[in-house]
Amino acid sequence: MQLKNNVTEFVLLGLTQDPTRKKIVFVIFLIFYLGILLGNSLIIVTIKASRALGSPMYFFLFHLSVYDACYSTSIAPRMIADALLKNATISFSECMIQVFTFHFFGCLEILILVLMAVDRYVAICKPLHYTTIMSHRVCGVLMSLTWLGSCVHSSAQIFLVLSLPFCGPNVIDHYFCDLQPLLKLACTDTYVTNFLLVSNSGAICTVSFVMLVLSYAVILHSLRNHSAEGRKKALSTCISHNIVVILFFGPCIFIYTRPAITFSMDKMIAVFYTIGTPLFNPLIYTLRNAEVKNALRMLWSKKLMPGDKR
Q: Is residue 183 part of a domain?
A: yes
- Any idea what the Cα angle at residue 220 is, between residues 237 and 231, rounded to 5°? 55
Q: Is residue 293 part of a domain?
A: yes
Q: Which domain holds residue 285?
A: 10-301
The reported pLDDT for the residue numbered 4 is 57
* pLDDT grade for 238, boundaries at 50, 70 and 90: confident
User: What integer is the mean pLDDT of 216-232?
Assistant: 76
pTM of the predicted structure, to 2 decimals: 0.89
Q: Is residue 2 part of a domain?
A: no
CATH number at residue 93: 1.20.1070.10
Distance separating alpha carbons of residues 73 and 249, to the nearest angstrom: 19
In a domain, 306, yes or no: no
By residue count, the chain amounts to 310
pLDDT > 70: percent of the chain: 91
Would the CA dihedral through 52, 54, 55, 57 be positive or negative?
positive
Is residue 5 a part of any domain in this protein?
A: no
CA-to-CA dists, residue 20 to 15, 89, 96, 168, 242, angstroms: 12, 19, 30, 30, 37
Once rounded to an integer, what is the mean pLDDT over residues 123-142? 90
Where residue 1 falls among pLDDT bands split at 50, 70, 90? very low
**Mean pLDDT confidence for 249-266:** 81
Q: Flag whether 88 is in a domain.
A: yes
Q: What tens digit of pLDDT does each residue of 175-195 get?
A: 999 888 888 888 888 888 888
Where helices occur in 50-135 by DSSP H, the ranges are 56-73, 76-82, 92-125, 130-133
Number of domains composing the chain: 1
Q: State the Cα–Cα distance between residues 292 and 4, nearest whole angstrom.
A: 54
Instruction: Identify whether 212 is part of a domain.
Output: yes
pLDDT tens-digit series, residues 139-160:
999 999 999 999 999 999 899 8
Least confident of 48-52, 105-109, 279-283, 297-301: 297-301
Domain assignment present for 238: yes
